[in-house]
Chains A and B, each alone.
Chain A
Amino acid sequence: MLELENVKKSFQEPGGGRIPILDIKRFALAAGEQAVLVGKSGSGKTTLLHIIAGISVPDSGTVKVDGIDLVRLPEAGRDRLRADKIGYVFQTFNLLGAFTALENVQLGMTFASGKRDESWARELLGRVGLSHRLDHKPSQLSVGEQQRVAVARALANRPKLLLADEPTANVDSRHQQQIVELIRTTCEQEQVALLMVTHSSDVAGQFSRVEPIETFNLAGVA
C-alpha cells in the first residue's frame, strides 16, 4: 500500500545552507496494516506524513501509494490522489467552523472523484456515535466529539491509507483511549492502512507495529 525508498528531504536555512530532515532508505506499510510512528519533536514525523500525503515533495526518492509514485505526479495529480486514496486526521482536528458536523464530513468527499454520498457521511457519523449531532457546528461539540467528526471526515472518501498526526495530543487520557480505538476499529472495518504519529507511549502501546523514526531516518537531526 505504501512504499518509500531513498526519500530525502531538507529545508533551507536563512543563511543559505540546508538542514537535512529526512533520509529514509526504505519504509513500507501493507494494505490494512496499522503502524504507529514515534519519535522526538523535530524528528521529521509530520514532514514524513506531509510527503506521504503529497502535500510536500521530497528532494529525491520514490513515494508510492497504492502503486502510484507521488513524486512523479504533478501537484494536481497529487491533490487528486490525496482526495481519492488518503485520509488525514490532524492534531488540532481542523474542523471548519462554518460547517455542521455532517457538512464537515461531506467536505471530505467533495474533492474526491467518487460519488458524493450523504448517506455514507451520516453512516460514518453514526459509527462514531454522533448521529444526534449531525447539524451541530464544531463550536457546539465537545473536544472528543470534534475529534470523532475529524475521524469520520478522514474516512469519508473511502481512503486506502489513513494518516493520523498526533490525533490524541489535545484530549484527556479517557478520550485518548476512545479516539485511538475508534480510529483503529474503523480502519479495520474498512480495510484501511493506518499510519499514526504519536508522542504517547500509552497510545503506541496499543499497536503491534511501533516504528521509532530514528531507526529508519538517517538524517542527522534525528
Chain B
Amino acid sequence: MNLWKIALRSIQSRSVASLLTCFSMALGVTLVVSVLVINSVVAETFNRNPGMGYDLVVGKKGGDYQLVLNTLFHLSRPVENLPYSYYKEFVSPEGKFKSLVSRAIPYCLGDNFQGFRVVGTVPGIFDPDFEYGPGRKYEFAEGRNFKQSEFFEGVVGATVARETGLRVGDTFSPTHSFAEDGHVHDDQFTVVGILKPTGTPNDRALFINMEGFYLMDNHAAEEKPPAAKDDHAGHDHGKEDHGNDHGKEPAKKADEPKAEEKKADAKSGCESEPEETAVLLAYQAAKDTGHEHAGHDHGHSHDHSHAHAPREPLPESQREVTAILVRGLANNPMAGMMLARNINKGTEAQAASPVRVVTGLFATFVDPLRMLLIGMAVLVVLVAGIGVLVNIYNSMNERRREVAVMRALGARRTTVFQIILLESILLSLFGGIAGWLMGHGLTWLIGWLWLADTAGVTVNFWQLVNVDIGSSGSVKLPLELLLVGGLVGLASIVGYLPAMAAYKTDVAKCLANSP
C-alpha cells in the first residue's frame, strides 16, 4: 500500500466533509476557468480578425469606436452618412483613393428586422474568393448570393435564419430605424440565400441589395448640388430619431450618367467598377434604347411596391452610404496606412482601423474587467484553499491517534507529513478537476445559450486557454496546466500546517492516551 492510497482512504473516511471541501474548491476553479475561457474566446473572436478581411472602416467624422462597432460588430447606433460621391472615390477609376484600394464595400444602415441589423450593400461582400479571416470564406448553407440586378433580394446570416425562421424563398420587410416597433417598410425582400455560420457578427445580420435599400421610403437623401471633390463639409444628414435618415423624398428619376462613366462602363468586366454604378448605367442604357422592363411605370412612387416590378434606381445625387469597408492593396503593406492618413486629413470622413479600435477597446475596458474578475476568482480559490486547511486541520485532533499508530508501525515523521500533504493535494485536485469540468461545461452552456446568438461567438467544451511563453511567443502552454500547478502549490501551502501537526505528534503520549 502506498502513501497515496493511505491519503485517499483518509479522505474517504471523512466523506461528507471532504465532499464539501472539494465542492467549495470546485466552485472557485469553475469561476476561474469560466472567466479565463470566456475572456479567451471573446478576445480571440475579436482579435483573430477584427476587420473581417478589411483594413479600414471609413465613415463620417466622429468616434472611431462607434464607427467600427456599429459597422463591423453591428453594435451601437450608426454614425451619420457619407455622400455617395465619396464612396466613388474608392471605386471609380479616377477616384482619388482608388490607387491604394483593392476592395471597397459600401454599407447602408438604418433598418432592422426583428431586432437584427439590415445592411444594404453590394453582392461583392460575399465574393466566393474573399477571405474574411485566414482561410475562411463566406459560404451558403442554402441558396445563393443576391444579384445586383435584382433590387429586392437579400441574404440572411445563420443566426438570423435560425432565430427568425426565414428560409430561401421567404420574404421580409425591414423596419425603419433600430427599434423593433418602428415603421415597417412596404417593400418586401426575397431571401435567396442563407449563409453558413461564420462565427462573426455577420451571422446576426441580413444583407440586402443596396439598390432595394435606396428605393425604400425615406431612404433617399435630399438632392443637393454636387459637393467639391476634396471637401464634403456641409452635407446634411440624419434628421430622424434613428440617427441615420436617408432622406425625405423618394426617387423621381435616375441621373444622367456622366460621359466618363459611360466610357468606363464600356470596359466590361473591369473589377474596379462599382456594381451599383454599373446597374445605373445598364438601366440608363436600357432606357435610352427603349429596352425597359415591360410594364414598369417610371412615374410611380414606391409606396406600392410589394410586387418586385422593375423600378428606377435612385439617382446618385440622392444616395448616401453609412460606411465603407476598405481593404488596401495586397502588394503594398503601407497602403492601408497611407489611405487612412489621406482620408483623415480631410474634414468630412474618417478612417478607423478595426485592429487598433479592438485593441484599444480591450486595453481600456475588457482587460481591467478581466483582471478584476480573475482577481475575484483567485480569491474564491484561496478561500476554498483555506477550507481545505480547516477541513484537514480540524480532523487532526481525532487523527493524532492514527498518526501515532502509523509512527508505532515504523512510519517516519516525514512520512506522516507527506501523507497529510498528499491529502491536501488530493482534495484540491479533486475539487480542481471537478471545477475544471464544471467551468468548461458552464462556458459551453453560456456559449450555446447566449454568446453564439448575441455576440456571434462559439465556445467548444474543450476550449483550452493558452498562454504564450518564450520570447517569441511561439510556444503555447494551456493556462489550465498552470492552474493545476497553482492548485498543487496552494494545497501544499494550506496542507503545511496540519502536516506539521502530524509531524510533531508525540507518539508515546498519544498511544498512552488511547481509549
Candidates A86, A99, A116; contact of B9 at CB < 8 Å = A99
Give Cα A99 to B8, complex, Å: 10
When C-beta atoms are compared, the residue in chain B nearest to A163 turns out to be B408
B12 and A111 contact, CB distance less than 8 A: no
Q: A96-B402, A106-B1 are in contact. Are A153 and B409 (CB under 8 A)?
A: yes
Contact call B1/A98, Cβ cutoff below 8 A: no
A32 to chain B, nearest CB (A): 22
Bits for A68-93, please: 1 = Cβ < 8 Å to B, else 0. Answer: 00000001100110111010101110
Q: How many residues of chain B are within 8 Å of chain A by beta carbon?
A: 27
What is the minimal beta-carbon distance from A34 to any residue of chain B, in angstroms? Answer: 21
What 1/0 flags go to B68-98 for Cβ under 8 Å of A? Answer: 0000000000000000000000000000000
**Interface residues in B389-409 (C-beta closer than 8 Å to A):** 401-402, 405-409
Q: A92-B515, A111-B415 are in contact. Are A83 and B409 (CB under 8 A)?
A: yes
Say how far A211's CB is from chain B's closest CB, in angstroms: 21
- Contact present for A82 and B410 (CB under 8 Å): yes
B residues in contact (CB < 8 Å) with A: 1-2, 5-6, 9-10, 12-13, 401-402, 405-415, 507-508, 511-512, 514-515
Nearest-neighbor residue (CB-CB) of B14 within chain A: A98
Contacting residues of chain A (36-84) with chain B, CB-CB under 8 angstroms: 46-47, 50, 53, 55-56, 75-76, 79-80, 82-84
Q: How far is the CA of A84 from the CA of B1 in the complex (A)?
A: 16
- Interface pairs A-B: 5 shortest CB-CB: A83-B410, A98-B13, A111-B410, A98-B9, A94-B405
CA distance A55 to B411 in the complex (A): 11
C-alpha gap A46/B512 in the complex (Å): 8
A107 at the interface (CB under 8 A from B): yes
Tell me which residues across on chain B come within 8 A of A50, comparing CB atoms.
508, 511
A97 x B406 contact (CB < 8 A): no
Q: List the B residue with the shortest CB-CB distance to A92.
A: B514
Q: B514 to chain A: which residues have CB within 8 Å?
A: 90-92, 94
Nearest residue in A to B412 (C-beta to C-beta)? A79
The minimal Cβ–Cβ distance linking A204 to chain B, given in whole angstroms, is 22
Residue contact A107 to B408, C-beta cutoff 8 Å: no
For the complex, is A23 an interface residue (Cβ under 8 Å from B)? no
From B12, B402, B413, give the contact of A75 (CB < 8 A).
Answer: B413
Contact partners of B6 in chain A: CB under 8 A = 107, 110
- Whether the pair A76, B412 counts as a contact (CB closer than 8 A) is yes
Residue of A nearest to B415 (CB): A111
Minimum distance in angstroms from B145 CB to a CB of chain A: 69
Chain A residues within an 8 Å CB radius of B2: 110
What A residues does B405 contact at CB under 8 A? 90, 94, 96
18 more A-B residue pairs beyond the given contacts A86-B410, A88-B408, A98-B10, with a C-beta to C-beta distance below 8 A: A55-B408, A55-B511, A76-B412, A76-B414, A82-B408, A82-B410, A90-B511, A90-B514, A94-B511, A103-B1, A107-B409, A108-B409, A111-B406, A111-B412, A111-B415, A116-B1, A153-B409, A157-B409
A53 to B1, CA, bound (A): 23
Chain B residue contacts of A96, Cβ below 8 A: 9, 402, 405-406
Task: Tell me the complex Cα distance, A88–B410, Å.
Answer: 10
A112 at the interface (CB under 8 A from B): yes
A55 touches B410 (CB 8 A): no
Within 8 A of B (CB), among A189-217: none
| Contact residues in A for B507 (Cβ distance below 8 Å) | 55
Q: Which residues of A contact B5 (CB under 8 A)?
A: 103
B residues less than 8 Å from A55 (CB atoms): 407-408, 507-508, 511
Q: Which residues of A contact B515 (CB under 8 A)?
A: 92
Query: In the bound complex, what is the Cα–Cα distance between A53 and B508 (angstroms)?
Result: 10
User: Is the beta-carbon distance between B409 and A97 smaller than 8 angstroms?
Assistant: no
On whether A84 and B410 interact (CB within 8 A), knowing A90-B405, A98-B10, the answer reads yes
CA distance A108 to B407 in the complex (A): 11
Give 14 A-B contacts (CB < 8 Å), ordered by A residue. Answer: A47-B508, A53-B408, A76-B413, A79-B407, A94-B401, A96-B402, A106-B1, A107-B409, A110-B1, A110-B2, A110-B6, A110-B411, A111-B409, A111-B415
